[in-house]
Amino acid sequence: MDDRPEHVFYQIDLLKQLKLDVPQVVALVLRLRQQGIRLPDPIIHVEQCIDALTAVREEDYGTY
């Protein structure tokens, strides 16, 4: 696993095979994508997730 974190953290099967946990933010992003929410790649930090979700919300519903 000699790669950039944003690539390594999305190799879910390999992480599980190595008995490593999937980062919570990555698991959340994957679940949201399964629900049809369009999120950019890569998201590996909470701040990135917040920014992406805010952008999706504004895109769908506009700003306050």
* Nearest CA among 51, 31, 16, 38 for reference residue 8: 16
Place of tokens 């190595």: 18
> pTM for the full model?
0.83
Q: What is the pLDDT of residue 64?
A: 59
Report the Cα 13 to chain-centroid distance in Å. 16
Residue type at 11?
Q
The pLDDT of residue 21: 96
The predicted pLDDT at position 59 comes to 86
The 10s digit of each residue's pLDDT in 4-61 is 999 999 999 999 999 999 999 999 999 999 999 999 999 999 999 999 999 999 988 8
pLDDT on residue 1: 67
**pLDDT on residue 63:** 67
